[in-house]
Structure 1
Amino acid sequence: MCGIWAVFGSDEDVSVQCNAVHKITHRGPDAFRIENINHFTNCCLGFHRLAIVDDIKGMQPMRLYTYPNIWLIYNGEIYNHELLEKEYDLQCSTTCDGEPIIHLYDKLGPEMAASQLDGVFAFCILDTANRKVILGRDTYGIRPMFKLYNDNGFLAVCSEAKGLFGLSHTVSDAKAKIEPLLPGHIEVYDIDMNGKAKFLERKRFHKIGDMPRYKSLAPALTDDVKLNIRNLFEAAVKKRLMAERRIGCLLSGGLDSSLVAAMLVKDAKEQKLSYPIQTFSIGLESSPDIAAARTVSKYLGTEHHEVIFTPEEGLDAIEKVIYHLETYDITTIRASVGMYLISKYISEKSDTVVILSGEGADELAQGYIYFHKSPSAEEGDIESRRLLEDLYMYDVLRGDRTTAAWGLEIRVPFLDHIFSSYYLSISPEDRRPMKGVEKYLLRAAFSDTGLLPNEILWRPKEAFSDGISSKAKSWFDIVQSHCNAQINDDELEQAANLYPFNTPKTKESYYYRRIFEKYYPNKAKWLPYFWMPKWCKTSDPSARTLKHYKQ
């Protein structure tokens, strides 16, 4: 996890604008560098580093003696960097996983280079010889990137949108066109003699569900679907052990995080890591997640940490959570509070820096409870793919921002390119909920393997914001009570006048929107729609409002 920032074609001295780069200091607490580019008027690259691989030579902006015209800043992990070095005879001068990006760009061009990367990334390349800027982002948008571009040739890039505020001089921040780079895409810009940028093209280099074009060490496929699922998932976890810092795992006690933790422990033992795996769970007093995670930890033999937070601590965190998330989506904010607080604990109370998590499994394996209402297997497949396409605005965003806020790096094996592509290639009929159980195929693939106890493997789905709840009073009810006290009836009645786009329908939604507008005025269109369950008559995204959940 790092923070990248760049400006091209500024109308004023970039030394003034460079203060904005410090708005993302939290993403890279280990080191900082900012460089003006020789012979380019008011162009600058900035980088906040979280050192994970090659502590000595991995600092950025990266520039090689072999390609002095190419500058690179990137946030991510390229898991196949050693394979790429061998396949293309790259002659790398560091062990940094991102160095092959430079070599591949020179050899293959931007689109093909991006398509060869097995990993997660957001990168910005400046090619001073050809006067080009290239932006790229991974398939699922696991690593974030925002851009600010205007007709005057000003281009700015940042890992988080907050680092782009105050940079545009032709229009106000409220009207500045700040938007995310689309996942799975590259963009190319020309840079003139004055450093001014001109948009050239946008290309998609990898679509969700398409098998990637690069070589990998993943096991060959067999005729046994469940064996393939197990093998490819293990390969997805194993490659994510690439780190020179301690690796741990979030553990809610649900299927997704438990499978990740179990496979992590198995692979860590095989690779003989020099430390025990730490697992971390969070909840209100007597939450079901805390109890389930304790069971899993005991079974796996992890060094387990439990964080019990109070309703007051959760409510106090909401404004900071919205600031870091840069969204006002209801379910994303609710679920992010626990993840934000546990990330704070990990950062302050442990030496774990790399965190594995179960994000993506619900979208990929149809794990949300509302999938029980799918009219057909084909409709379920369409919905699953839609969720995956938009994941960068919801759960992926939550995972990145809540951990990055505390200088941690999250890794999500369920969204591995090869594993997810294979899973989507399985018949829709086999991927839908069966026998009243969501994610049936995924559970069945690991049944009777001994990886997890059956009580956990077949534990019913709970939304993260529901699982952390106390038996006495749910997090859902605590938030409702708080927001009802903050927003009066008249404010809600006038919501459409103040917020005509994505108008808040509840006091909770209004409360979140008001905080969002405080930090990001007139940027409501960053969120195209509120996350809501499909095929259900409900006005709230909480699983607790669904009939199947209560049964």
Structure 2
Amino acid sequence: MCGIWATFGIKGGLSPTCIKCFSNIVHRGPDAWRIEQDAREQLVVLGFHRLAIVDGLHGMQPMRLHKYPRVTLICNGEIYNYKRLGEQYAFPYETNCDVEAIIHCYKKFGIAETVRQLDGVFAFCLVDGDERKVFIARDPYGVRPLFKLSDETNGVMAICSEAKGLIGLKQKSANGSFLGQFKPGHFEEWSILDDNTVKQVKTEQYFQPGTPPKFVPYVSEIGLNVDVYEKTALLLEAACKKRLMSDRRIGCFLSGGLDSSLVAALVVKLAKEINLPYDIQTFAIGMGDSPDIIAARTVAQYIGSEHHEVIFDEADVREHIDDVIYHLETFDITTIRASLPMYLLSRYIKQKTNTTVLFSGEGADELAQGYIYFRDAPTSTDGHEESVRLLSDIYLYDGLRADRTTSAFSLELRVPFLDIQFTSHYLSIDSLLRQPQEGVEKHLLRKSFANSKLIPDSILWRHKEAFSDGVASIKKSLFTTISEIVTERLPSNETVYTSGVPPITPEAKYYRYIFEKSFPDQYNFTPYYWMPKWVQVTDPSARFIKHYAAKS
């Protein structure tokens, strides 16, 4: 996890305004920083904030290689197949940094094939000085964030890992400029013109959820003579294994639910197999003896992790809710609710431990039909299509939450459930098998580990909690606490928002009010409120769905 920032065609690229914008993402990479203005292309400025995870000595960016001195790369990401690519194509690597593979792939294949060859998560900007081209790309599910500011009328473009690094430029630019998220699974090509402004010449979508990988897969499926359940378990374990690539200490978020428990158990198992020189730390959070705290404690004892519990209360919510909205860059209701505990837990990890790389279970609910409302899907095809939609938009909601709450405290997140080979396999399974079975969500995933003894059966078959119930109690949900706080704080002279999705409840109005303070008129950041499908509810919490049966 790092922070990338670049401007093209902006006069005064190293002005105080630009430097301030660049510094707004220092939390993403506190270990080192560098900002450069191209000696030949005076309106090309590249900046990088580094969190050193792999190759602490040679991994600084902007990256240039002796073999290709006019190609410059800034990238926030991890390329899990960089060693295989190096062996496959005899790349003359100069560093041990995984993202170096991007430059070699680009020079060998061009940009379109490069993004298809990468097994990993990434957001990058590559400048080819000889060809006077700029290329921007983002990983298939948007695990790594990327925003773009563009004003094509004036030949201006800028990119940043977070919107807070561009909003100051947006406010000083022409009225026709646009700031928004760069879409996952896409790349763009821009030309640098004679006057050093830029012009977009191409945009292409290279990936859709379920697309088979174009790269040589981590696990060869040729001759893999196992049933669908064994294959599912095997590929999830492989997704965890490839993500152990780190020179920093690894830990796991552990809510005690199915997804985080499977990932934590697999990481602990794999860490022992490769003899990591430390115990895997697991981290849980809740309000008192919440269901999540109790369940996570059970899992940690079972798998033998070094477990940490963080207890938070209403005072923590009051103190940090506005900070959470600033870091998230959204006003979506369910995203903010779910982010508060994760933000507080990340703060604890940063302050009290030396763990820097964290595994989590994000993506499983979208991929494996884990939300309770999937029971109401009219057909298995409808369920499949909803999974694809949720995965396509995960970068706006759960993916955004997971990245921002961790990056706020200079932590790096790894999400095995969004592995390309694993998601391709899972979405290729008969849609009837992927539906909830006998009132149990993620039945296929659970059955895949039924004989593994990886986690306790009580956790493997634990019911789906509404997140705000899991960290609190059914007696008083977290969202009830939040609602009480924001109702007190909402200004009496209420603003009427005529653009974007309209906030109806006091809670939604407060979130929009705080969001607009830092990101005025950027309502496009939240194109719609996350809500369950096929059910008639006015609140996104699962506790309002008829099937919900969680007990405190």
User: Given the two structures, how large is their TM-score scaled by the length of structure 2?
Assistant: 0.97
Q: Show the 5 A alignment for 1:164-203.
A: 164-168=166-170, 171=173, 176-203=177-204
Equivalent of 1:153, from 149, 152, 155?
A: 155
Does the CA contact (< 8 Å) of 1:277 and 1:302 recur in 2? yes
SS of the counterpart of 2:11? coil
> In the alignment, does 2:486 pair up with 1:499?
no
Alignment match, 2:119 = 118
Alignment match, 2:530 = 531
Alignment match, 2:483 = 480
Deviations 1:246-297 (A, max 9, x none): 0000000000000000100111111110000000000111210000000000
Deviations 1:138-170 (A, max 9, x none): 000000111111121111110001101222587
Residue 176 of structure 1 deviates from its aligned partner by 3.5
Worse-matched range after superposition: 39-48 or 393-402: 39-48
**Corresponding letter in the other structure for 2:454:** L
Residues of 2 paired with 1:168 and 1:526: CA distance? 14
Residues of 1 paired with 2:162 and 2:459: CA distance? 36
Does the CA contact (< 8 Å) of 2:13 and 2:45 recur in 1? no
SS of the counterpart of 2:155? coil
Q: Show the 5 A alignment for 1:62-461.
A: 62-150=63-151, 151-168=153-170, 171=173, 176-220=177-221, 221-461=224-464
Residues of 1 paired with 2:376 and 2:64: CA distance? 53
Residue 483 of structure 1 deviates from its aligned partner by 2.3
Residue 311 of structure 1 deviates from its aligned partner by 1.0
SS of the counterpart of 1:133? strand
Q: Which runs of 5+ in 1 are unaligned?
A: none
Deviations 1:314-355 (A, max 9, x none): 232111011011000000000000000000000010000000
Residues of 1 paired with 2:188 and 2:514: CA distance? 32
Does the CA contact (< 8 Å) of 1:188 and 1:200 recur in 2? yes
**Corresponding letter in the other structure for 1:517:** E
Does the CA contact (< 8 Å) of 1:237 and 1:413 recur in 2? yes
Does the CA contact (< 8 Å) of 2:93 and 2:100 recur in 1? yes
Alignment match, 2:4 = 4
**Corresponding letter in the other structure for 1:542:** S
Deviations 1:23-59 (A, max 9, x none): 0000001111111111112321100000000000000
Label 1:288 to 1:116 Cα distance change in 2 as closer, same or farther (>3 A): same
Residues of 1 paired with 2:493 and 2:58: CA distance? 58
Does the CA contact (< 8 Å) of 2:54 and 2:97 recur in 1? yes
Residues of 2 paired with 1:490 and 1:59: CA distance? 49
Does the CA contact (< 8 Å) of 1:13 and 1:42 recur in 2? yes
Runs (4 or more) in structure 1 with deviation over 3 Å come to 168-172, 487-491
SS of the counterpart of 1:430? helix
Residues of 1 paired with 2:86 and 2:271: CA distance? 25
Residues of 1 paired with 2:512 and 2:61: CA distance? 36
Worse-matched range after superposition: 403-412 or 9-18: 9-18
Does the CA contact (< 8 Å) of 2:283 and 2:307 recur in 1? yes
SS of the counterpart of 1:140? coil
**Corresponding letter in the other structure for 1:267:** L
Alignment match, 1:548 = 547
Residue 498 of structure 1 deviates from its aligned partner by 2.8
**Corresponding letter in the other structure for 2:394:** L
Label 1:32 to 1:548 Cα distance change in 2 as closer, same or farther (>3 A): same
Does the CA contact (< 8 Å) of 1:219 and 1:231 recur in 2? no
> In the alignment, does 2:14 pair up with 1:14?
yes
Does the CA contact (< 8 Å) of 2:180 and 2:524 recur in 1? no
Residues of 2 paired with 1:239 and 1:314: CA distance? 36
**Corresponding letter in the other structure for 1:222:** N
SS of the counterpart of 1:275? coil
Residues of 1 paired with 2:463 and 2:482: CA distance? 24
> In the alignment, does 2:43 pair up with 1:42?
yes
Residue 465 of structure 1 deviates from its aligned partner by 2.6
Worse-matched range after superposition: 263-272 or 481-490: 481-490
Residues of 2 paired with 1:215 and 1:404: CA distance? 30
**Corresponding letter in the other structure for 1:361:** A
User: Given the two structures, how large is their TM-score scaled by the length of structure 1?
Assistant: 0.97
Residues of 2 paired with 1:136 and 1:468: CA distance? 36
Label 1:487 to 1:104 Cα distance change in 2 as closer, same or farther (>3 A): same
SS of the counterpart of 1:437? coil
Residue 449 of structure 1 deviates from its aligned partner by 1.1
Alignment RMSD: 1.4
SS of the counterpart of 1:63? coil
Residues of 2 paired with 1:117 and 1:535: CA distance? 36
Alignment match, 2:31 = 30
Worse-matched range after superposition: 130-139 or 480-489: 480-489
Does the CA contact (< 8 Å) of 2:186 and 2:207 recur in 1? yes
Does the CA contact (< 8 Å) of 1:283 and 1:470 recur in 2? no
Does the CA contact (< 8 Å) of 2:59 and 2:97 recur in 1? yes
Residue 376 of structure 1 deviates from its aligned partner by 1.0
Residues of 1 paired with 2:138 and 2:429: CA distance? 26
Residue 448 of structure 1 deviates from its aligned partner by 2.0
Label 1:88 to 1:524 Cα distance change in 2 as closer, same or farther (>3 A): same
SS of the counterpart of 1:548? coil
Residue 196 of structure 1 deviates from its aligned partner by 0.7
**Corresponding letter in the other structure for 1:55:** G
Label 1:445 to 1:59 Cα distance change in 2 as closer, same or farther (>3 A): same
Residues of 2 paired with 1:544 and 1:433: CA distance? 18
